[in-house]
Structure 1
Amino acid sequence: MRHFLFVLIFLSSVNLAFPQDILRVGVAGLTHGHVGWILDANKRADIEIVGIAEPNKELAERLTSQYGISMDLVFDDLEEMLTATKPEAVTAFGNIFDHLAVVEAAAPKGMHVMVEKPLAVSVDHAEKMAALAKKHQIHLITNYETTWYPSVEKAQEILEEGEIGEMRKLIVRDGHRGPKNIGVSDEFLEWLTDPKLNGGGAIIDFGCYGANLSTWLHKGERPISVTAVTQQLQEENNPKVDDDATIILTYEDSQVILEPSWNWPIGRKDMEIYGMTGALFADNGKTLRIRMAEGYDGFDEETLKFDKREAPFDDPFTFFKSVIRGEITLSPFDLSSLENNQIVVEILEAAVKSSKTHKTVFLK
């Protein structure tokens, strides 16, 4: 009898604890090209999609069928979905302009939010989102693909250890042949090339990566000035927005050059860090080259290869869950943090202004 009671108590404790191991997620929008990331994660034991808000029924039917998700989970309205399904966290996979509306709906209900990069289309939106997150004490994080690159993690460690000396120049190049040329969905293309819904073209879509990395590597320091030049080299494909940009950020002890573009012949997300005694080349997510200076123009080069980062830093959803559970505490300048990404939006807004006025913008 005692053994039977012990089993009952044990099973009850397991059942009570088990829900804590599953992150109940609501998906706000399906138009973002990266939405497959969360839809595919629904197959995992630790993630459960409890509701999806998407008014485009044709899109919803196509994607739920592709990923084996029931259309019963799909709602036309975000507020209705949140009220009916009560997710613990919300992932935003719509246009960037709507990120504010997602936080406005989720934060008062105590629901944590993760948005796809960048945080917001403007400083005004970012400030309102931050105020809501702080008022309602929710986590508001931003997801970038490069956050999960082991090459980026190792580059920061080497720089921090002083192996190549103090950073003097950072160059970040991101992009591809352009949304239409690589064949993104019509729903994604519609807002990605809209200056209101995306905030701009390549300058926003890919400029945010470098701004995020620069803010992290500078430990949250804001640049002194921002200078940007944009061009429209594919007017037929991107009639409303830029598709090529160069952004220069000046700091007290370093300079940063960002090269976001929809005109690269080969897709890329790479970074170069130049110190006083050496340089680091994160050619992609899994390869890092270390060059140590020898003489005037000589160098000794070592190449490191990686598989993936260790959990919970290997993907956005494991990470998000760990943040919510209190297993991870974000530093103010962490790649995913609200503080970092508010600075990112400030940099991007200044870059757009600089490109339009043909003047350097000095940050207050």
Structure 2
Amino acid sequence: MKNFTMTFILLLFSLTYSFAQEAPLRIGVAGLHHGHVGWVLNAHKRPDIEIVGIAEPNRELAEKYAKQHKIPMEIVFDSVEEMVEKMKPEAVTGFGATFHHFEIVQVCAPRGIHVMVEKPLAVSFAHAKEMAELAKKHQIYLLTNYETSWYASNEKALELLQSGRIGEVRKIVVRDGHRGPKQIGVGPEFLEWLTDPVLNGAGALMDFGCYGANLSTWVLDGQRPLSVTAITQQLNPADNPKVDDEATIILAYGNSQTIIEASWNWPIGRKDMEIYGQTGAIFADDGSHLRIRMAEGYSGFSEEKMDLPARAKPFDDPFSVLFAVVRGHTPLEAFDPYSLENNLLTMEILQAAKESAASGKTVFLPIK
């Protein structure tokens, strides 16, 4: 028994050491116009990630970030195609306008290069379907990164729901947003495309509605809504003259309903989710705080609060997920928030929401 234990310990140490010594993932960065691009540029300092190329035609913007993050301008190219041809990355991360996600996949998929984009997957369901077809044809991973995918509170909420703690789900409410891109002071290159209906696909509906559609699809294990009803408004036309800045989306399922509230008008930034079951409710208040309320009588309840540690690796960080998935260490579960299956349905929901808001009518999704 002692020999077996020692052998097991040595094997575990060997595997741990092997992974620690594994070569870093060679990635390319497509675009620097996204306000969150600092995440990937900071990842360049990590032992598991190596930025081998950047595609950004705006030389002034590229020089600013290169200087700030100590990245040589020699690896900056004018196009994604030139960058991948010369630098041969294993994966490319999209940090430009959402409209350009389609082009990234068009360039990378035929070359067998994996792709991770910032949420949402695309500007339209049409783009998303073509991107998915390319990814499947050329057998690449196509991931979509959401901040809420890192949230331990959301992971715990799903675990509690699946355990039967609050009974069968009846309603999900997801609220995401802030005061608006201009009000919170995003950079000019980010603001320019974020408030453009072509480059972003919509305004708050797309920017923050995607979170609710993604989470609802995850929590409900890939269920398709029967219908989508949406109302959008432009409450601050001075800041958002071309797009909506307020959106409410209702997803009707066979046995439940999801309400998505996406706003560029909230005075306090928020990303939270509520799940209501037959006997209780779960409140994921932010990334690490969760409350469970169990019903007592008509309006009474007992409440348990949880202060949660970060999600276990690799799900505590999007670049760790990218590394683990591409290298074959961590397969994604069906309808995981990063997964292509989830984000195809998310885009179908968002497309229906845009159509519903424009027509003033409920849109019924085709049954599959």
Residues 321-330 or 27-36, more deviating: 321-330
Amino acid at match of 1:362: F
Secondary structure of the corresponding residue to residue 137 of structure 1: coil
**SS of alignment partner, residue 36 of structure 1:** helix
2:285 equivalent to 1:293: no
The aligned counterpart of 2:11 is: none
Task: Show CA shifts across 1:180-201 (max 9, x none).
Answer: 0000011001100010110000
| Cα distance, 1:19 vs structure 2 | 8.0
Cα deviations by residue, 1:100-131 (Å, 9 ceiling, x for unpaired): 10000011111000010000111111111011
SS in 2 for 1:21: coil
CA distance in 2, matches of 1:69, 1:278: 51
Partner of 2:14: none
- Aligned residue among 295, 308, 325 for 1:306: 308
Q: Which residue of 2 aligns with 1:169?
A: 171
Aligned to 2:196: 194
Residue aligning to 1:50: 52
Number of the residue aligned with 2:122 = 120
Alignment match, 1:81: 83
Q: Distance in 1 between matches of 2:287 and 2:148?
A: 7
Deviation at 1:20, TM superposition (A): 4.3
- Post-superposition Cα deviations, 1:141-172, rounded to whole Å, max 9, x if no partner, equal 10000000000000000000000001100000
Q: Residue 353 of structure 1 corresponds to which residue in structure 2?
A: 355
- Give the alignment of 1:250-261 within 5 angstroms: 250-261=252-263
Distance 2:139 2:322 in 1: 15
Distance 1:137 1:351 in 2: 30
Q: How far has the Cα of 1:333 moved from its partner?
A: 0.9
> Counterpart of 2:205 in structure 1: which amino acid?
I
Q: Distance between the aligned counterparts of 1:74 and 1:272, measured in 2? A: 43
| SS at 1:120 equivalent | coil
Aligned-pair identity in percent equals 65
Displacement of 1:238 in angstroms is 0.4
Q: Report the Cα distance in structure 2 between the residues aligned to 1:165 and 1:173, rounded to whole angstroms.
A: 22
1:312-346 per-position Cα deviation (integer Å, ceiling 9, x unaligned): 11100111111111111122211110010000000
Compute the displacement of 1:63 (Å).
1.2
Aligned counterpart for 1:134 among listed residues 133, 136, 155: 136
Residue 333 of structure 2 is matched in structure 1 by 331
Q: Secondary structure at the match of 1:66?
A: helix
The residue type paired with residue 188 of structure 2 is: D
TM-score w.r.t. length of structure 1: 0.94
Write the distance in 2 (CA, Å) between the matches of 1:160 and 1:348. 26
Q: Give the secondary-structure state (helix, strand or coil) at the position aligned to 2:98.
A: coil
Q: Structure 2: where are the runs of 5+ without partners?
A: 1-17
* Superposition pairs of residues 1-364 of structure 1, within 5 angstroms: 20-364=22-366
Q: CA RMSD in A?
A: 1.2
Provide runs of 4+ in structure 1 moved above 2 Å: 16-21
